[in-house]
Structure 1
Amino acid sequence: MASTSETGHAKNVANFQDLIAFVTGYGATYNPSKNALKLPQLTALLTASQASLADVVTKNTAYNNKVNERVVAFKDLKSLSTRLINALQTTDASKEKVADAKTLNKKMQGIRAKAVETPTDPSTPAPNTISTSQQSYAQQIQHLAGIISVLQSEPSYTPNETDLQIATLTAKQADLTAKNSAVATAYTNVSNSRIARDTTIYGTDTGLFDIATEVKKYVKSVFGATSPQFAQIKGIVFTKKKK
């Protein structure tokens, strides 16, 4: 479900479309001298605003998909880490080396991924900021890298199980790194898309909000404050984005 603020942007654009429909109905009487208030420019602004809304939805869905992919990829990492320690203990590794690996595993087990980052509906809005807790994914990757390094240093660590072998673990580390980076990239994309949307809808003087306000003033000046024409549009509400 989209947040109230996300819904508010869409409502502004929908109301702008209604405003255009009314002023179009005024025919040649609606003839502002300011270029930005003319019908072709209003229509172009509406199209740009609708496109900006759609782009945020697309980028937001892509972000959520990358988050979900990361959740799945990291799901078994802690249990895998414990299995690796158990496997190391069945080798000729020294107590000190096993202790080093156990310390890394304890760090791995002590990190909890952000609770909200579970598979979600694609319409769920991406967060406005990257939280500190999300960095725990990078930490988990580092802990895995540490464990792999310890395992690589032990000549007797030669498991028959494919998923415990160094080559498999190295590939997994690379995959986790890629998926974590993909989330960061997708977040940047949706954040930039929101900025572009806000510029289109709320930009000073040129944004939909300010233009809609001027259109109302123009109609009021042409037809009068008590005219039925102004009565048609004065109740069309446009909400300014909160900072």
Structure 2
Amino acid sequence: MSYDQRTNNLDALISILENTPNYTPNETEYQIATYKTKKTEMLQKTQAVADAFIPLNSARGERNQIVYDDLDNLVDIANKAKDYIATILNTKSVQYKAIAKIKFKKR
């Protein structure tokens, strides 16, 4: 169930309870005002997630552009550096083996 559906269900519950004349619980957690407060909190948090998603998605797109898609992308630079190090170091050396384990792949 999505968060919007949960909020809608809570709204329907509030509506039913408001139209039930005998519903007057003594416990604060079951009172209609508590449910309304909970619904407001849920809506605010859902909106905060929606507001944060657009900048996050944009930042991920920019990151992917730099890491994978640009002409001088990070993956190509790292692989060229590994190739260069392979020509300098002995392939049996500890340093080369440590660097060779690092994998850089395009998506």
Matched, 1:158 2:24: yes
| Alignment match, 2:88 | 232
- Unmatched runs of 5 consecutive residues or more in structure 1: 1-110, 112-134, 220-228
Aligned mate of 2:35, from 156, 165, 169: 169
Paired residues, number: 97
- Within-5 A mapping of 1:86-235: 135=2, 137-186=3-52, 188-212=54-78, 231-232=87-88
Q: Name the CA distance, whole Å, in 1 between partners of 2:48 and 2:88.
A: 48
TM-score (norm 2): 0.62
Alpha-carbon distance in 2 for matches of 1:167, 1:230: 69
- Do the aligned partners of residues 194 and 232 (structure 1) sit closer, same or farther apart at CA in structure 2, a change above 3 Å counting? farther
Percent identity for Structure 1 against Structure 2: 35
How far is 1:208 from its partner? 1.6
> Any unmatched runs of 5+ in structure 2?
90-95
1:172 Cα deviation after fit: 0.6
Report which structure shows greater RCO (CA 8 Å, sep ≥6). 1
For the aligned residue pairs, the C-alpha RMSD in angstroms reads 3.3
Is this contact kept in 2: 1:205–1:211, CA < 8 A?
no
Residue 185 of structure 1 deviates from its aligned partner by 4.5
Q: TM-score, normalised by structure 1?
A: 0.32
Measured against aligned partners, the alpha-carbon deviations of 1:63-106 in whole angstroms (never above 9, x if no partner) come to xxxxxxxxxxxxxxxxxxxxxxxxxxxxxxxxxxxxxxxxxxxx
In structure 2, the CA distance between the partners of 1:232 and 1:167, relative to structure 1 (3 Å rule), is same
Is the 1:158–1:165 contact (alpha carbons within 8 Å) kept by the matching residues of 2?
A: yes
Contact 2:68–2:74 under 8 Å retained in 1 = yes
Measured after TM superposition, the shift of residue 186 of structure 1 is: 4.7
Residues 35-86 of structure 1 show CA distances to partners (whole Å, capped at 9, x for unaligned) of xxxxxxxxxxxxxxxxxxxxxxxxxxxxxxxxxxxxxxxxxxxxxxxxxxxx
Partners of 2:30 and 2:13 in 1: CA distance: 12
8 Å Cα contact 2:78/2:104 also seen in 1: no
- Mark the CA change 1:232 to 1:184 in structure 2 (over 3 Å): closer, same or farther: farther
